[in-house]
């Protein structure tokens, strides 16, 4: 771990970001060049004290999850993110279809959309890599999932609680869409052991998945309309648009209210939702559920119950 170089790099990247790039209003009395340390801490979901120690070269070695949080908070490019990992003594994450870090450009779009839509970045296998505040309030936020549970489709077919946000009448259609999308990914990444292994484990775990997989339906999800049922504000009818990167490795899913009633309910949720999902546990507009939240010594904090 190159502490002095890491400290200098983090400090310079923090000072190079304009607050407006991350959705922070600039007051007339602002004197700090770039972001303040407390703003980086807020965006990355970690303590201010730990950010200070990182920039002063006094911290313990940060984890890979924490580095991912910093990379997103500081809007690092792919090259800068790789450099960050090397400075911290870690190998950078693989640049493949199931990379654990959302692309910096997609994360920037999350923040631009944070006040108007729910948005999330997914891998081509449906692993949620990042989401904005509105998305976290709407769906319950992300957890630090491990193993196959990090894939939405695996949770859908193995955990009944994962379907609770969708009306029963829509669950079959949603399941078919997920399986058809996975089939398209499997065809595009033919022979990839990551994809074939996931399919095999799903077939072993779920009879419902085996039934739908055997029908060989193929469809890349681009646009859709679905109802999401929130325990506080009720059902919301949402239009869903998907923007896919040129290599089809990651996608930006954007959900906007499809009618006036849903728009009003989403606005209400932004006001009351933080009572159920604390502000320090969600992303976009300030805080990150999908980022590791270290304790005062930089270690990982615990996680709440699964609500997806």
> Is the separation of the CB atoms in 136 and 142 below 8 Å?
yes
CB atoms within 10 A of CB 193: 9
Q: What would the mean pLDDT of 286-294 be, rounded to a whole number?
A: 33
Looking at residue 141, its pLDDT comes to 64
Distance CA 158, CA 150 (A): 12
Whether the predicted pLDDT of 281 surpasses 60: no
Q: Which residue bears the tokens 């997914």?
A: 122
Q: What would the mean pLDDT of 155-180 be, rounded to a whole number?
A: 91
Looking at residue 74, its pLDDT comes to 83
Distance CA 152, CA 160 (A): 12
Residue 101 CA, distance from chain mean position: 9
Q: What would the mean pLDDT of 197-202 be, rounded to a whole number?
A: 94
Reported confidence tier of residue 295, pLDDT bands at 50, 70, 90: very low
Q: What would the mean pLDDT of 20-27 be, rounded to a whole number?
A: 66
Whether the predicted pLDDT of 285 surpasses 50: no
Q: What would the mean pLDDT of 217-224 be, rounded to a whole number?
A: 79
pTM: 0.59
32 or 290, greater pLDDT = 32
pLDDT in tens, 109-119: 777 776 678 88
Q: What would the mean pLDDT of 174-188 be, rounded to a whole number?
A: 91
113 or 159, greater pLDDT = 159
Looking at residue 212, its pLDDT comes to 95
> Is the separation of the CB atoms in 282 and 289 below 8 Å?
yes
- What is the overall mean pLDDT for the chain? 78
Looking at residue 203, its pLDDT comes to 96
DSSP string, the chain: --HHHHHHHHHHHHHHS-GGGGTPPPPTT--SSS--HHHHHHHHTS-HHHHHHHHTT-SPPPPHHHHHHHHHHTT--HHHHHHHHHHTT-PPPP-STT-SS--HHHHHHHHHTTTT-EEEEEETT-BEEEE-HHHHHHH-------GGGGBHHHHHHH-GGGGTTS-HHHHHHHHHHHHHHHHHHHHHTTT-HHHHHHHHHHHHH-HHHHHHHHTT------EEEEEEEETTTEEEEEEEEEEE-TTSSEEEEEEEESSHHHHHHHHHHHHHGGGTS-GGG--STT--SSS--B-TTSPBPP------
pLDDT in tens, 93-108: 655 434 556 777 787 7
Q: What would the mean pLDDT of 268-273 be, rounded to a whole number?
A: 81
Least confident of 35-44, 192-201, 203-212: 35-44
Looking at residue 302, its pLDDT comes to 36
Distance CA 195, CA 183 (A): 10
Whether the predicted pLDDT of 171 surpasses 90: yes
Looking at residue 156, its pLDDT comes to 93
Reported confidence tier of residue 142, pLDDT bands at 50, 70, 90: low
């Amino acid at each position: 771990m190159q502490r002095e170089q890491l400290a200098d790099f983090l400090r310079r990247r923090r000072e190079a970001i304009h607050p407006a790039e991350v959705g922070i209003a600039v007051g007339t009395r602002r004197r700090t060049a770039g972001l303040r340390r407390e703003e980086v801490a807020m965006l990355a979901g970690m303590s201010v004290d730990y950010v200070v120690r990182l920039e002063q070269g006094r911290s313990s070695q940060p984890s890979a999850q924490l580095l991912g949080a910093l990379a997103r908070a500081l809007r690092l490019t792919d090259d800068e993110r790789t450099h960050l990992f090397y400075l911290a003594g870690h190998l950078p994450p693989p640049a493949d279809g199931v990379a654990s870090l959302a692309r910096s450009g997609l994360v920037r779009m999350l923040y631009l959309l944070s006040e108007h839509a729910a948005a999330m970045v997914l891998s081509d296998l449906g692993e949620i890599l990042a989401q904005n505040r509105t998305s976290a309030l709407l769906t319950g936020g992300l957890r630090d999932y491990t193993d196959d549970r990090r894939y939405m489709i695996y949770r859908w077919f193995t955990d009944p609680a994962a379907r609770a946000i969708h009306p029963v009448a829509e669950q079959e259609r949603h399941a078919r869409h997920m399986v058809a999308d996975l089939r398209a990914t499997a065809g595009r990444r033919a022979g990839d052991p990551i994809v074939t292994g996931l399919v095999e484990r799903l077939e072993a775990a779920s009879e419902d998945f085996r039934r739908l997989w055997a029908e060989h339906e193929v469809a890349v999800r681009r646009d859709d309309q679905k109802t999401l049922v929130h325990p506080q504000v009720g059902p919301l009818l949402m239009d869903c648009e998907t923007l896919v990167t040129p290599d089809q490795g990651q996608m930006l899913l954007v959900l906007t209210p499809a009618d006036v009633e849903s728009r009003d309910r989403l606005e209400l949720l932004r006001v009351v939702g933080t009572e159920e999902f604390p502000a320090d546990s969600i992303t976009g507009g300030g805080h990150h559920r999908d980022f590791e939240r270290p304790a005062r010594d930089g270690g990982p904090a615990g996680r709440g119950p699964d609500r997806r």
